[in-house]
Amino acid sequence: MEKIKVYLSARISQDAHFWSNFVCDLLDERFEVFKPHEHNPYNVDHRYLQKSVYEMDLHAMQNSDIGLLLSPYGRDCAWEVGWYSKSDKPIVLYADNKVAPSVKTILHRI
């Protein structure tokens, strides 16, 4: 069975990695998630990212079946949401009653 390809639209800063990974881990084996924070440098101002970073993300969006938007949003998320709005692919927002909760909060829920 072919996996559903998901493009994660979320902040790529290091402090957001845990939350992004936590939410993506909620998806089962039917899904394959492209996480930009695993490929994009998080300590470089987005205006100075290499073209190859943009091309990798664009290729992942073009090959995705759906986008997954996580809050809190980063600046680049607006571009990704705009791209999906003009494509034939949906983008969905995962919302929680707590935005990017702390590790302690997440571990308490488990």
pLDDT grade, residue 110 (50/70/90)?
Answer: very low
Do the beta carbons of residue 8 and residue 20 sit within 8 Å?
Answer: yes
Judge contact between 37 and 20, C-beta under 8 A. Answer: yes
Give the pTM.
0.83
| CATH no. of 4-109 | 3.40.50.450
Percent of the chain predicted with pLDDT > 70: 85
Which of 14-18, 23-27, 47-51, 104-108 has the lowest average pLDDT?
A: 104-108
When pLDDT is averaged across residues 35-50 and rounded to a whole number, the result is: 81
Q: What residue spans define the domains of the chain?
A: 4-109
Q: What are phi and psi of 4, to 5 degrees?
A: -80, 120
* pLDDT tens for each residue of 75-107: 778 889 999 999 999 999 987 765 554 444 444
Longest C-alpha distance within the chain, in Å? 41
